[in-house]
Amino acid sequence: MNAKFAINGKQIETERLVLRPFALSDLDDFFAYASEPGVGEMAGWNHHQNKQESMEILQRFVQQDKTVAICLKLDNKVIGSLGVEEYGLEEKLSEFFPYQGRELGFVLSKQHWGKGLMTEAVQAVINYLFDEMHLDFLTCGYYTFNARSKRVQEKCGFKPYRKLISQTRMGTEQETILNLLTNPRKNIKLQFSHPETLIYQD
């Protein structure tokens, strides 16, 4: 099942980052990376064309309270986002019926790629969700051409779970690997359904 989740004012500090809720005053920073060609597209959405478009999404972030702003301590700028989303196919994936989980999704401003920052952010959010919110599992996906995202997920301990075709918000279809991470502090035993897309190995 999808776990209930809201950021609820929570801030997480890592070595180089502050993870916190978005505010409408983050518009300029948000637009700066959301409008960079080749950032959103790797996560399934077109880069933003204008600030109005970014403002509409930002309002949704603030209202829904499930997308964390990734803020660089060095200059206090928001350089990316990390969504604690509902996982899809909740009705079909019977292995998760007795368990509580969410799906992670993330993007980072291009100029900050390759410095280990997203791994730092994702790892901190995983620790929070498993150790303090006591979630049982997390999923996280990447399009098969997205080697950087694949690597971030590997470094955070995710294991390949299913190979699927997913619909992007750009109206295209992409081959996707969905990864899975179970809470190592719990004894989670999953009875997997739908063997036709399953690639998980214990």
Ligand X SMILES: CC(C)(COP(=O)(O)OP(=O)(O)OC[C@H]1O[C@@H](n2cnc3c(N)ncnc32)[C@H](O)[C@@H]1OP(=O)(O)O)[C@@H](O)C(=O)NCCC(=O)NCCS
Q: Which residues bind ligand X (CB under 6 A)?
A: 39, 42-43, 106-108, 113-119, 141-142, 146-149, 151-152
To ligand X, the closest distance from the beta carbon of 22 in angstroms equals: 16
Query: What's the min distance (Å) between Cβ of 62 and ligand X?
Result: 21
User: Cβ closer to ligand X: 96 or 158?
Assistant: 158
Least CB distance to ligand X at residue 33 (A): 8
| Residue whose CB is less far from ligand X, 137 or 142 | 142
Give Dmax over CA atoms of the chain in angstroms: 48
Strand partners, 139: 103, 180
Which residue lies nearer to ligand X by CB, 73 or 151? 151
Nearer to ligand X, 101 or 141 (CB): 141
CA distance 198 to 191: 12
Q: Shortest gap between Cβ of 86 and ligand X (angstroms)?
A: 16
* Residue 197 CB burial class (10 angstroms; 0-12, 13-18, ≥19): middle
For residue 74, give Cα distances in angstroms to 11, 17, 24, 53, 111.
16, 8, 21, 28, 14
Q: Which is nearer to ligand X, 117 or 190 (CB)?
A: 117
CA-to-CA distance for 200 and 202, rounded, in angstroms? Answer: 7
Tell which residue, 181, 119, 173, has the closest CA to residue 143: 173
Supply the minimum distance, in Å, between the C-beta of residue 94 and ligand X: 25
DSSP type of residue 87: P
